[in-house]
Structure formats: structure tokens, C-alpha cells
A and B are shown apart, each in its own frame.
Chain A
Amino acid sequence: MLQATDAQVKYRVSGVVSDVETGEKLMGVAVFEKKLQVGAVTDEKGFYELDLPAGSHTLQFSFLGYVSDEKMIDVKGKAMTLNIRLKEDVTKLSEVVISSQKTDHNVSQMAMSVQSLDMITIKKIPALMGEVDVIKTIQLLPGVQAASEGSSGFSVRGGGTDENLILLDDAPIYNASHFLGFFSVFNNDVVKEATLYKGDIPANFGGRLSSVLDVNVKDEMPKKITGQGGVGLVTSRLTVEAPLFNQQTSLLLGGRTTYAGLVIPFMGEEIKGSDIYFYDLNAKLTQRINNNNRLFLSAYHGRDRFQVRDMMGLGYGNSSVTMKWNHIFSPRLTSNLTLLGSKYQYSIDIWFDPYDFTLKAGSQSAELKYDFTMLWNENHTSRWGISSGFLSLEQGQLDDRGGALSQYLSVDSMTVVRRKGLDHAFYFTHDHTITPRFSMRYGLRLSCFQNIGEEDFYVFNENHQVFDTIHYKRGEVFNTEFHPEPRLAAMFRIDEVSSVKASYSRTFQYVQVASAATGGLPFDVWFPISPNVKPQRSDQFAIGYFRNFHHDAIETSVELYYKNLNNVMDFKDNAMTYGNVLIDGELRIGKGRSFGAEFLVRKNTGKLTGWISYTYSRSYRTIPDINLGKEYRSPYDRPHNFVIVANYDITPKLSVAANWIYNTGQPVTYPYGQYTLGGVTYAIYNGSRNESRYPAYHRMDLSLTWQLPDRRWKRWDSELNVSVYNAYAHHNTWAVTFTQDKESGDVKTEKMYLFSTVPSISYQFKF
């Protein structure tokens, strides 16, 4: 909150701003006293406060997409409360992007390296198969790149896909993909807002090196039953929100499913009995106890299933639940007590003698945390909190019915291998407006991770070979890592339209994915640090210049960053990562560095909205035993990334959108020679890693959205969306394979690409 006030005796005016229709608390509403030229912005609870001298004042409440409101108040020598309800400006809905942030937040808020996206912005962007998606939109932001074509995995500032903390209503999501990554687990109809922290990660977040993607489900208090949904070529979805018990309670229920499996019976007898589907369900209950207490219960469950007859099957899915109690002790002090749980599990079934088995693995966690926010005055805001959680990371549960697998895996048949840990943290962070132009945020996160039994712990020597096995009893703590993580940010406001910001953040990561794959897979199993494996550490420095033009209609920014990485992990050559209880021995540890520059021009208002971004980023690792010990490109080193996202409202009812993406090709390891043994030709590599690159990636997506005439039912709004993914059919390389001709024995090189042009049509509705 940025305020500029004089030094008179003042009295606090505070209140909550909400939507008159839905009751939703509005964050980012500008509250402005015209005469004194002082103002404030509502926080995430819709709460604002201003210190005003005694006398008459006119307060103006304005928020993009809402009708502005003015209230006359008379401050009579004591604090007063003024709650406001704003009405949605329907006539402007099609002309503006509703932002939950102050219009000049780009230059006025201290946070840097943060991108917030609301669903109206996301829904305007052309999407694969017409299914707009939070993560696919995130991948269009500067500093963020898709791990591969069609993947829900993403790399932030050169970091790995497992270095992103993905939260759904505070609960961690261990694998955010559906359909092998073509869609994410986030149903866009239930999402209120998504915020990505690429750097300057607030101290209340931790546990991942590169970023935090914080996705929140809607928690409005609607006055009547509302709903929205859509019917597409691949999926359909429906979300209903309803007020209950005299509008003290609201319930949101959302569901989404695909009907891809319905076509299987028509594809021939050979695959009869096969199946392919995914679904997800969201529910959120919001209970308003009184003005000072609210309860939230949010739950998610999703599942994917692929089955090829009675031969093989693959299933995976996430479940999460979050219970939160929001309590306002006073207008200055608020708290959130949160209890959450999350689970991810996959299973592979093979029914093919002698390979007849089921392999299950997954992750589950539970956490209790208590967070406080204290608004001391207009210049000081503190946040602190404590959390403690339990993790159980299942490396493999094998039912080896055929008995053939026990040779491959270091897992005995019918045994369960779980590695468990406790994850604790305490944080404190303080926002300090030192002068109207200069403000700072300083904070510290104290993180602690403990490995606990029951576990047969394998001790490795310097040659990465097991030389001892120690059995730890259930609940026995056998390793403790405790690390301070300082966070520091500063902002200097040059003038009303420009500012300079800088930040430093140290983060530790205590769990990581046991996979050398770069794309993010359903089989990605998380495993913890241990006495063999020290936690990865990142020290990120960033500096940026931010400037707005044309009354904040156009935002521009330039950010430079440098990340120094310690205890960076990579897998040795020919690593066995799946279901391997000796995973610690497959790792090699070293150092890394990433650096880059991000340029962004964004237009938020008017008929033409969107952004243009260019990112230059590099990412390197130096790890003994890999690449002959020399520095090498990380799999996410893609120097040039250029994105254009544009939406144009031709009329209030008709809009077109386009985006164009260009990425330097992904680093890849190519062979230099070949050898034939036993009639099989195989490739020879020179020991270097990621020296070559795939061809550059680029594509253009287009869409047209037509709001359909409203004839039958007044409350029924609908629109038709026609979109084209990869409009000029560029065959982007997803993989390169070398195949040997059976007759001639010659080797030919082929590139695999997933998508040519993919047209789609979808119908969206709202009531």
C-alpha cells in the first residue's frame, strides 16, 4: 500500500470494498481523497484504511470494470468504518481487462518479477483445442518457457520444471498436468486469479528454487445461483456458485471432463476395451461467521486414465484439500490459520507375461500454518507466520505378479518404499515506506527439513556406491537441515510514472523430482534430500526499471537477473530414475548459474490489449562426472524468447486475438558416430551434454470470440469461440529420432512434431 499524507493529527477511516452483486471482496480498489490527494488500495480481503484529518472529505472508490462511487464523510475526531459495494460496469466489460491490481501497480508496488493474471485476460488468449489454461498462459510471460511443445511443465528463468511451487488454494500440486501435459489441472472457470513469482519470492513461500505459482479458487459470496461452463471439442465443464443460509455461506462446485474415450469403440475391434479420459472436480465452501471471521474449505480431485485393452494401463491424479480460518483481530491485525493436505499418485499396470505387474508411486503431504498480517501504519506492514508439515514420498510400490521385475528394480515384490520428512518454517517480512519515494521490504524465512523413519537408508561412498545400510525406526529423525533464507527488496519511485526496483532472495529446495526428463511426466516421483544429498540453494539478484505511459494504459519494464545455484543436481549418464530406491547414487551434484534480461510492454486498456515481451536468458551447470566436468547448458537454456499477445475488440460483441511465440531451440545431445552390434546400429556420443539445439520453435495462434445475442433468457450470456493453434502449421520439433532401415541398414534422422494446425470451436456460457 502506498500512501502520501501530511503530518497533521489524523483519524483512521477503514472498511471493506466488495462487489454488490456477488459479495466478492475486491482487491486493488483505488480509494482516493480528492482534496488532500491521498489514497490507498484495498488488500486481498478488500480492506482499506486511510488516515485523514478531522473534517469533511470526499472519498472516491474506483476499480476497473466497476462503476466508480463517491462518498462524503465527516471525520469527527475518532476512527470510523465505511464499507462500500461497487457495481460491475457491464457496458465496459468487453472493453477492458479487469485487473485486481491498482492501475499503476507496475511502478507503485514494491514487488518485482511478479505477474498476476486474471481469468478475463487468460480467456482472451487463443488456446490449444479451445481449452484456455492458466499454465499455458503463464508460459507466454517473460522469463517463462514451456518445457516442451504441449507440456504443462514450465521453466522460470532457466530453472527446472520441478523448481516451481504450484499451489491451488495454498495446497501444493505435485503434477499439474492432464492428458500428459496438454492441459493443466486448473479448470479456468473456478480460478479467480493466478500469480507467478519469478523472483523476489515473498518470505511466506519457500521450498522451491525458481518460482511460485499461486492459484486461487473463487470465493465470492453471490446473491443468487450463478454458473458458467463450456462445451468444446475435447472437454466440457460446468461450474455453479450458490449462496446458502441467508448469504452467510457460499458453495462453488465445478467439474470438467473429456470425452476423448467415446470415440474408441468406433476405432476398430482391436482396441475395444481401451479407455482414455480425464476429469477434475473442484469444490469450495465459504462460510461467513461474522464480520471478523470467515471459514474456507476448498477441495480438488482429478484423475487421468489411459488403458490399452487388457494389456497395459496408466492412471494418475491429484487430490487436495484446504481448510482456512480467516480472522480479523482488529482493522490492523488479520490472520489465516490453514490446514491443508495434498496427494498425487500414479499407477502403471502391465498385464503382459512375464511382465505382469502394477507399479504405484506418488507424493502426499499435510501442513498446518498460521499467518499474520499487521498494518502498523501507512508506512509499516508486517507479515509473519509459522508452518509445519509432513511429507511422504512413495518411491515405488510394486506388485510384481509376474516376478520378472525384481531384477530390474531394487524393489522387492510387494514392498512399499516411502521416504518421509518434516518440513518446518518460520518467516517474518516487513514492508517499510521510508520516504514517499523510497520503500523497502526485508524478510527472513527460517526453513528446516528433517528426514524421518521408517527407512532403510543407503549410505553412499565417494564413488556413489552403497557401502552401508542403516535402518531407522518409525518417526526417528535421522537428518536435519536448517537454513536461513533472507529476502530483500527495495523500490525507488523516480516520479509518478516510473520506478527502479531491486531484490535479492535466497531459496532452498528440499524435495525434487527423480527424473532426467525435461518435459514433466506423470511418472515424476519426488524424493527428498538426505545425508547423501544436500538441499539445492539459489541466490537470485534482480534489478528492474518500470515505467508507465498514457495514464498507466501502457506498462513497460526491463528486469535483469542473476541466479547463483549451489548443490545443483543432475543425473549421471544412463541413470535409472524410476522406482529406484538407490536414487541418491544416480545423482551428481555441482553448481549452476542463470542470468538474463526481460523486456515487457503491456497494454491493459482500450480496444487493443495484450503484451510484447522479449527475454534473453542463459542457464548453465557445472557438475563433476557430467560433460567431462566442464560447464554445460542446462536443458532450459534457450537464449531468445519473443512473445506477442494481442486482443482486439472489433465491436463490444466481437473480438479477435492472436499470439506469436518464438523460442530458441531446446538444447539437445546429438551423436557423432555409430556402431552396429548384433545387427543393431546404435549411436555414439562424445560425452558432451546439450551441445546442439533443436531448430527454433515458433507458432502463431488465432481466435475469434463472438458474444451471442441474448434472446431467450436474460440471465444467459454465451459466446462462441473459434480458435486455431499453430495457424501457419509450423512443425515444431518435439523429438529427434534416428531409425535404421530394416533393408539397407541406413540410419535416417526424423523429427517428431505433435501439432500441425489445430482448429477448434467451443461454446461458453454464463448465467
Chain B
Amino acid sequence: MRKNFWILLLMVFGLLSCREDIVIDLEEGNPLVGVEGSFTDEYKRHEVILSYTSDFYQADAIRMVSGAKVAVTDGVDTIPYLEQEDRPGHYLTDSVAGKKNTLYRLMVSVPDVGEPDGYKHLTAESYMNDNIEVIDSLVLKPFNLFQGIPMKDTMYMIYPYFQSLPDPSIVFMIHLYEDGISQSDTLTKVLAIPMAGYAGYYVNGPEFLVTNMEIAVGMVKSSELHDGEVIRLDLLSIPLDYMTFVYSLSFSMGSNPMMGPPTNVITNIQPAGEAVGWFYAASVVSAETVYHKMK
């Protein structure tokens, strides 16, 4: 809602305003540890990336965190993430699958000579929510936003069909792949859909169509597809706070009179103020469809 809210406003002011590049003097500060991690119920190697935050205008000088101890636990089993020799700061598990309906706790110990034991200890918790059993089908439908106006390029909306869970707190994050290449490689391309209003319904089935309530989860251009291309959809059941985090990223960059003072994006890495980033657990269900060019 907030996103649409600001889109509407910024559209209006965007039409009226002009921009020019400026350079501002910024304060310097101590770098924080950044944590980017996930753990899912897919059988694969899961990754945590550790780096330090950089000065605002010096993105090139990213320092990775090497020599850290990283592990995830469900309270019973503890699974280590090991640093890759050729990729400092990247920590991977062995191939392993998480379990749904389980709370996972990430433990990170970052070398820090200022600490008594030589490590700064960080933690994060995330609950791996339940997910649907299966996506029954994935359908591409032509779409024209400006009905009646011919478009140069046909757009296809992607509609999954599935029986949603009765739990209204489920939030789905969508990852799309075209011929195995991720189309959701940055969080700006990721869509998150809370299922509150759809809980218990058969999504995109006849009930939805009666009330004109179809859920599209992505869009592809026909010009970028070839005949026989495989479209894959990953439906990640994520915690609500991770969705809030993803959307809040859009509002961290800048200030204007229509918003309050900008502040740090929320993080679930503890202790507060020592680190930034996010660790999430998710359960994943996938489906595929094949694109056939219309003749």
C-alpha cells in the first residue's frame, strides 16, 4: 500500500519537477557488518554473504568479511556455512534442505579485535512458513494495459493456479526464470504478495474469475521469448517482515518533504545497530510452462 501511495505522489511531483546532479558533503561513520542470507527447504547449498558497509560514494571499495564463523540451527541440528576459498565473504552450506514450520536461527561470528573473544557475535531468526503442496498449472495470457490501443510488443501476464492455504498470514515472493536464467536477480524485480484476502481460495480458479480477482505474478514480453522457452516460477513462502524489508528498500534513498526523515532500513540482525541486512527462511514450490509463439 505504501508503495502505491508514494508511486502516485511521486508520479504527480515527477511530472512537475526537474532534477540535476549535485554533490553533497557527507559525514563519515564506522562501517557496519552487512548480512545477506537465506535458508530454504530446497535441497541445495544455501548461502550467506558477509561484507562491510562502505562510504556512500565509494561503492567500489566493498570489503568482504573473511574468517567469520557462520551456522544455522533449528535448535536441534546445526548446519555450518563455510567460506569459499575463491570468493571471500561468501559462505555456503553443504547440500541440505530445511523443514517447513520451523524457526531457524542464524549465528555469525565476525572477527573483531575489539571484542574480548576476538569476535563480534550476530544472530538473526526467521520462521520457515508452510507452503502450498503444488502449483497445478502456470498460464501465460496476453495483456494490454491500454485496452484498445495496439501495442508494438505483446505482453504476457503469468498466472499460477493453486489451492491457497487457509492461513491468511502467508506471503508469497515470486522468483521467475526464463530458460533457467533468473529474472528476479535483484530485489527491485521481485514481487511479494500477501495472501490475506485469498486465503483458502483456489487462486485464479472460477471463484476468482467471478469476482474478477485474478492474481498475476509476473509479466514477460513476447519479443524477449523464443518458441519453446521454459518459464519457471518459484513461489517462496516468506515471513511478513521480510516482505516489509524488501519494500522498505525503495524508500531509503533520499529525502523529500512528503516523507519523514529517512532512517535505516529495518534489519533482523541482532544486536540492533551492529549490523545491517536480512536473513530469511522460506519454503519453495515451483512450476514450469513452455511458451509457444502465436502464429
Q: Do A and B bind each other?
A: yes
Q: A483-491, A606-614, A675-683: which lies at the B interface?
A: A675-683
B255 near A406 with CB under 8 A, answer no
Bound CA–CA A676/B5 (angstroms): 25
Contact assessment for A352 and B19 in the assembled complex, using a CB-CB cutoff below 8 Å? no
Residues of B contacting A575 in the complex (Cβ-Cβ under 8 angstroms)? 260
Q: How many whole Å from A497's CB to the nearest CB in chain B?
A: 42
Q: In chain B, what residue has the closest Cβ to A748?
A: B21
Partner of B263, one of A353, A355, A685: A685
Within the complex, what minimum Cβ distance (angstroms) separates A579 from chain B? 8
CA–CA, A350 and B1, complex, Å: 9
Q: In whole Å, how far is A273's beta carbon from the nearest beta carbon of chain B? A: 10
Bound-state CA distance A180–B21 (Å) is 25
Of B13, B17, B53, B188, the contact of A674 (CB 8 Å cutoff): B53
Partner of B258, one of A402, A521, A672: A521
Min C-beta distance of B253 to chain A, whole Å: 4
Which one of A407-415, A459-467, A501-509 is at the interface? A407-415
Residue A696 interfacial (CB < 8 Å): no
Q: Closest chain A residue to B27 by CB distance?
A: A672
Q: From residue 397 to 423 of chain A, which have CB atoms closer than 8 A to chain B? A: 400, 402-409, 413
Which residues of chain B in 241-271 are interfacial with respect to chain A, using CB atoms and an 8 Å cutoff? 243, 246, 248-249, 252-266
On whether A676 and B13 interact (CB within 8 A), knowing A686-B27, A750-B20, A752-B19, the answer reads no
Nearest-neighbor residue (CB-CB) of A515 within chain B = B260
Q: Which of A16-24, A384-392, A733-741 contacts B (4 or more CB under 8 A)?
A: A733-741
Give, as a whole number of angstroms, the nearest-CB distance from B113 to chain A: 21
Query: Which of these, B4, B31, B263, contacts A574 with CB under 8 Å?
Result: B263
Check: A151 CB closer than 8 A to any chain B CB: yes
A368 at the interface (CB under 8 A from B): no
CA distance A736 to B258 in the complex (A): 12
Contact B18 A756 (CB under 8 A): yes
A139: Cβ under 8 A from any B Cβ: no
- Are A746 and B254 within 8 A (Cβ)? no
Within 8 A of A (CB), among B103-119: none
- Tell me which of A403, A684, A751 contacts B53 (CB under 8 A): A684
Interface string of B49-63 (1 = CB under 8 A from A): 001011111010010
Query: Across the interface, which residues of A come within 8 angstroms of B75, CB to CB?
Result: none
A110 to B216, CA, bound (A): 68
Measured in the bound complex, the distance between the Cα atoms of B168 and A679 in whole Å is 30
Bound-state Cα–Cα, A403 to B168, Å: 10
A517 at the interface (CB under 8 A from B): yes
A684 lies within 8 A of B185 (CB): no
Selected interface stretch from A306-314, A371-379, A424-432, A536-544: A306-314
The closest CB in chain A to the CB of B55 belongs to A673
Contacts of A402 in B (CB 8 A): 197, 213
Docked CA distance A400–B5 (Å): 15
Interface pair A672/B28, CB less than 8 Å apart: yes
Q: Are B56 and A679 in contact (CB under 8 A)?
A: no
Please encode chain B, from 127 to 162, with 1 for each CB lying within 8 Å of some chain A CB and 0 for all others.
Answer: 000000000000000000010010000000000000
B242 to chain A, nearest CB (A): 11
Chain B residues within 8 Å of A478, by CB: none
Chain B hits for A691, CB < 8 A: 27
| CA A691 to CA B262, docked complex, whole Å | 12
* Residues on the A chain within 8 Å of B4, using CB: 312, 350, 352, 355
**Cβ contact within 8 Å between A670 and B12:** no
Docked-complex contact B171 and A407, CB < 8 angstroms: yes
User: A314 to B8, Cβ gap below 8 A?
Assistant: yes
Q: Which residue of A lies closest to B199 (CB)?
A: A403
- Which of B12, B59, B276 interacts with A180 by CB under 8 Å? B12
| A692 contacts B260, C-beta separation under 8 Å | no
Nearest Cβ on chain A to B169's Cβ, whole angstroms: 8
> Would A735 and B277 count as touching, CB distance under 8 A?
no
**Nearest Cβ distance between residue A735 and chain B, in whole angstroms?**
3
Q: Establish whether residues B5 and A672, one from each chain, have CB atoms under 8 Å apart when the complex forms.
A: no
Question: Among the interface residues A516, A677, A745, A753, which one has the most CB atoms of the partner chain B within 10 A?
Answer: A677
| A748-B21, A753-B20 known; A672+B168 contact, CB < 8 A | no
Q: Are B22 and A736 in contact (CB under 8 A)?
A: yes
Complex CA distance for A322 and B125, rounded to whole angstroms: 58
A673 touching B29 in the complex, CB below 8 Å, given contacts A147-B257, A180-B13, A573-B263: yes
Is A752 a contact of B256 with CB atoms below 8 Å? yes
Q: Is the CB of A403 within 8 A of B252?
A: no
Task: Please report which residues of chain A, range 641-690, place their CB below 8 angstroms from some CB of chain B when the two chains form the complex.
Answer: 666, 668-687, 689-690
Smallest beta-carbon distance B132→chain A, Å: 17
Residues in B with CB closer than 8 Å to A752 are 13, 17-19, 256
**Residue B186, interface by CB 8 Å:** yes
Q: How many residues of A contact B (CB 8 A)?
A: 90
Complex Cα spacing A682 to B243, Å: 16
Cross-chain contact of B264 among A356, A359, A678, A685 (Cβ < 8 A): A685
Identity of the chain B residue whose Cβ is nearest the Cβ of A359 in the assembled complex: B1
Residue of A with least CB distance to B259:
A517
Closest chain-B Cβ to A585's Cβ sits at a distance in Å of 16
With A677-B277, A682-B249 as contacts: A747 and B59 at CB distance below 8 Å: yes
Tell me whether A674 and B56 are in contact (CB under 8 A). yes
Contact in complex: A751, B277 (CB < 8 Å): no
CB distance from B295 to the nearest CB of A (A): 28
> B288 to chain A: which residues have CB within 8 Å?
none
CB distance from A587 to the nearest CB of B (A): 12
Q: Which residue of B lies closest to A691 (CB)?
A: B27
Q: A269-B146, A683-B262 are in contact. Are A677 and B187 (CB under 8 A)?
A: yes
Question: Does B181 lie at the interface of the complex (its beta carbon under 8 Å from any beta carbon of A)?
Answer: no
CB-CB under 8 A from A734, the residues of chain B are 13, 17, 256-257
Min C-beta distance of A540 to chain B, whole Å: 26
Cβ B257 vs Cβ A518 within 8 A: yes
A38 at the interface (CB under 8 A from B): no
Among candidates A180, A677, A679, A682, residue contacting B253 with C-beta atoms closer than 8 Å: A682
Chain A proximity of B279: nearest CB distance (Å): 11
Is B234 part of the contact surface with A, judged by Cβ < 8 Å? Answer: no
CB distance from B15 to the nearest CB of A (A): 10
Partner of B23, one of A405, A668, A669, A749: A749
- Cα distance, A298 to B53, chains bound together (Å): 60
Interchain CA distance A515-B261 in the complex, whole Å = 11
Question: Which B residues, 52 to 89, have Cβ-Cβ distances below 8 Å to chain A?
Answer: 53-57, 59, 62
Chain B residues within an 8 Å CB radius of A721: none
The listed residue (A309, A680, A689, A756) touching B261 by CB distance below 8 A is A689
Are B12 and A686 closer than 8 Å at their CB atoms? no
**B263, A735: Cβ atoms under 8 Å?**
no
- Contact between B187 and A690 (Cβ–Cβ < 8 Å)? no
Instruction: Look across to chain B and name the residue whose beta carbon is closest to the beta carbon of A571.
Output: B260
In the complex, per-residue mask of A111-149: 1 if CB is within 8 Å of any chain B CB, else 0: 000000000000000000000000000000000000110
* Interface status of B229 (Cβ within 8 A of chain A): no
Interface contact B1-A355, CB-CB below 8 Å = yes
Nearest CB in chain B to that of A740: its residue: B253
Between A and B, 22 residue pairs with Cβ closer than 8 Å are A269-B146, A306-B12, A352-B4, A407-B243, A515-B260, A521-B9, A671-B262, A672-B28, A674-B56, A675-B34, A677-B36, A678-B186, A683-B262, A684-B32, A684-B56, A692-B24, A734-B256, A738-B253, A745-B59, A750-B20, A752-B19, A753-B19
Further pairs besides A348-B8, A579-B1, A674-B54: 19, Cβ < 8 Å: A353-B215, A402-B213, A403-B196, A403-B213, A407-B194, A516-B259, A668-B261, A670-B255, A671-B262, A678-B190, A680-B186, A681-B59, A683-B253, A684-B29, A747-B253, A750-B20, A751-B22, A752-B13, A754-B16
**Which 5 pairs across A and B sit closest by C-beta, in order of nearness?**
A403-B197, A516-B260, A679-B186, A519-B257, A735-B256
**Residues of chain B whose beta carbon lies under 8 Å from any beta carbon of chain A:** 1-2, 4-5, 8-9, 11-13, 16-29, 31-32, 34, 36, 51, 53-57, 59, 62, 146, 149, 168-169, 171, 185-188, 190, 193-194, 196-198, 213-216, 240, 243, 246, 248-249, 252-266, 273, 276-278
Q: Which residues of A contact B (CB under 8 A)?
A: 147-148, 151, 180, 269-270, 306, 308-309, 312, 314, 348, 350, 352-357, 359, 400, 402-409, 413, 515-519, 521, 523, 571, 573-579, 635, 666, 668-687, 689-692, 731, 734-740, 745-754, 756
